Amino acid sequence: MTRPTAPQTSSAPEARPVPEARPARPGWDEYFMDIAQQVARRCTCRRRMVGAVLVRDTRILSTGYNGVPAGIEHCLDRGCLREQLGIPSGERHELCRGLHAEQNALLQAARHGISIEGATLYCTAQPCTLCTKMLINAGIVDVVFRDAYPDSLAVELLKEAGVPTRMFGQQAEERTCR
């Protein structure tokens, strides 16, 4: 009777499949701005889609998007008061049913007891004067935005308060977030 023999093994290492090339890992600015863009998709404003993310030590503290307060009928369903009144963009912010993304990010942090002092704001749009005043008093220490907004007073206030402000992509992206 013959004994079965064990299969022969090769001493050569087994070939591993080559992984497909993957996109480069994003820097922190790109990462948080991408998240702000996703947050903006939740907006209920008929005019603009804006998203905001508050970050400290590379950790998300709060997010916000522009839209009406909780429990109020959305402008997407009811119509835009500003359009009905013929109010141009950037004027008479008090005549709007909605809140700005930056305001909602600040309010969500407050509602949940999250300190945002020393945080960086990532926003898909440059903050207006009203939001700028709130951000300064909340202790935001850096503002990164994607799209410019024609509000020279907001720029002046941030500069006077010593809050660095820059358009996304205009400086090195690898940096430490506050």
Cα(57)–Cα(176) distance, rounded to whole angstroms? 7
Task: Scan for tokens 């080559």, then name that residue.
Answer: 18
State how far Cα 173 lies from the chain centre: 15
Cα(46)–Cα(85) distance, rounded to whole angstroms? 14
Cα(49)–Cα(109) distance, rounded to whole angstroms? 21
Inter-CA distances, 36 with 20, 22, 43, 116, 168, Å: 28, 23, 11, 17, 12
Which among 91, 102, 156, 174 is annotated as catalytic?
102
Task: Say whether 102 is catalytic.
Answer: yes
Cα(82)–Cα(133) distance, rounded to whole angstroms? 23
Structure token pair of residue 166: 């820059």
List active site positions. Answer: 102
